[in-house]
Amino acid sequence: MRDYRKFYIDGQWVAPATPLDLEVINPANEEACAVISIGAEADVELAVAAAKRAFTSFSRTTRQERIELLESCVEIYKKRYDDIAVAIREEMGSPQTFAVEEQADCGLGHLAEALRVLRQFEFEEDVGNARVFREPIGVCGLITPWNWPVNQIGCKVAPALAVGCTMVLKPSEIAPLSAWLWTEVMHEAGVPAGVYNMVNGDGPGVGTALSKHPDVDMMSFTGSTRAGIAVAQNAAPTVKRVAQELGGKSPNIILDDANLEVAVTRGALHMFANTGQSCNAPSRMLVPAAKLAEAEDIAARAAASVVVGDPANTETTMGPVVSKLQYDKIQGLIEAGVAEGAKLVAGGPGLPQGIDKGYFVQPTVFSAANNDMTIAREEIFGPVLTMIPYETEEEAIAIANDTVYGLAGYVQSESMEHARQVASQIRAGNVKINGQSGGYAVPFGGYKQSGNGREWGEHGFTDFLETKAVEGYGE
């Protein structure tokens, strides 16, 4: 069992101020796979103080110095790539193939993208007689979730390093193993002492202490909308910047001219990827009412094709959800769907057939739902697809936008012009046409209660920068 009970502060692994152990549970077998320490305000104080000291010098480093640092991070990450994939498999039950090809790739992808952007980013410009500078904002508090652990660490830490910020990371206490390995990468790559710090802990303890701390200049948070509100409230008295990537209930509009077999299969399998534990998952599939029965059959076949089981087995395509708490929540929402009269097309309550241990959920499809049902309004965060029929395109767009969230949207059509027209009417920060992805350079973030600010690529630098105008600079 991994012993990860130390924190990384000021370039060293240190014991917590007050020891408090927490076992990390492997959700595939319900057994402890590691033990970490839960930090407290005293640990945050040490980490923030280290980051504040380091900011004075690191903020003045040259572009070339930071390029060389990120290049070193990329090379060390490559060496630890397989170790990180295994850690993600253990901590959150990600199937081995998915962990290697998708989850672990995110960390490398964000480091490489930050390096690409840094090489050409304009940190200053002339406006009239003024020189406008974009400068590192200061000490950053970073709080990351368990569902895409290295992805969210990478898309915060990489741009923060690139622009010259210092930071304190609080990874999820539910899935902290990959964060430990990420920290080893930072150390071996030569990140200067105090620039990057990592303290494990929970939201009420470490998260609150970071958010409230007067020497933390900005908070970057990814997680639930409920927790994001708490971070913003805690940060408000010190008027620090808060960037948030929160929940979602993303619509997937299957237009009448779409290839139904391709579009429904794509949408259903996307919903089951990562066991449905993605904030931008296409959880509401909007289907022309006249084609609903056919779409149900396609979705049922897609669900049946999912191989649920041991994440270590390379044949497995869907592992467990991350914890018993999540499992119980998802089971309750599936039961709510049945109780509210949605048609159960595939899956349902209980463990998948042949599985009697682990937090496994059946790939589940509901149909004939309406947008007022619980399963259409709440973020389930599990492998549960809700199919909603519509009569007109205008109605589909209205249903798509009838949500407090606005993180992502999806449009499927055989006509690119048609898809673009509908995509322009979806109130969300990221819209995919026919399942296409723009990669790590494309900004990611949400409208409404899905958050504010943007991560990834050049847009991901913005939240870590302050703007200073020096007037009379050219005279």
The answer to whether residue 245 is catalytic is yes
Distance CA 171, CA 251 (A): 29
Written as one letter, the residue type at 41 is E
Name the active-site residue from 173, 245, 296, 455.
Answer: 245
Tokens of 187: 């150390």
Radius of gyration of the chain (CA): 23
Half-sphere exposure of 384 (CA within 13 A, CB side): 33
Burial class of residue 231, CB neighbours in 10 A (0-12, 13-18, 19+):
buried
Burial class of residue 1, CB neighbours in 10 A (0-12, 13-18, 19+):
exposed
Do 264 and 378 form a contact (C-beta atoms < 8 A)?
no
Q: Phi/psi zone of residue 464: left (φ > 0), alpha (ψ -120 to 50 degrees), beta?
A: alpha
Name the active-site residue from 140, 165, 279, 296.
Answer: 279
Of 170, 159, 34, the residue nearest 109 (C-alpha):
159
The CA dihedral of 195, 43, 148, 225, to the nearest 10 degrees, is -110
Written as one letter, the residue type at 318 is M
Of 164, 158, 183, 163, the residue nearest 57 (C-alpha):
164
410 φ, ψ (degrees, to nearest 5): -140, 140
Written as one letter, the residue type at 108 is L
Written as one letter, the residue type at 67 is I
Tell me which DSSP letter residue 308 carries: B
The answer to whether residue 140 is catalytic is no
Of 428, 472, 437, the residue nearest 456 (C-alpha):
437
Distance CA 13, CA 253 (A): 49
Q: What pairing do the DSSP bridges indicate for beta strands 451-452 and 31-37?
A: unpaired
Known catalytic residues are: 245, 279
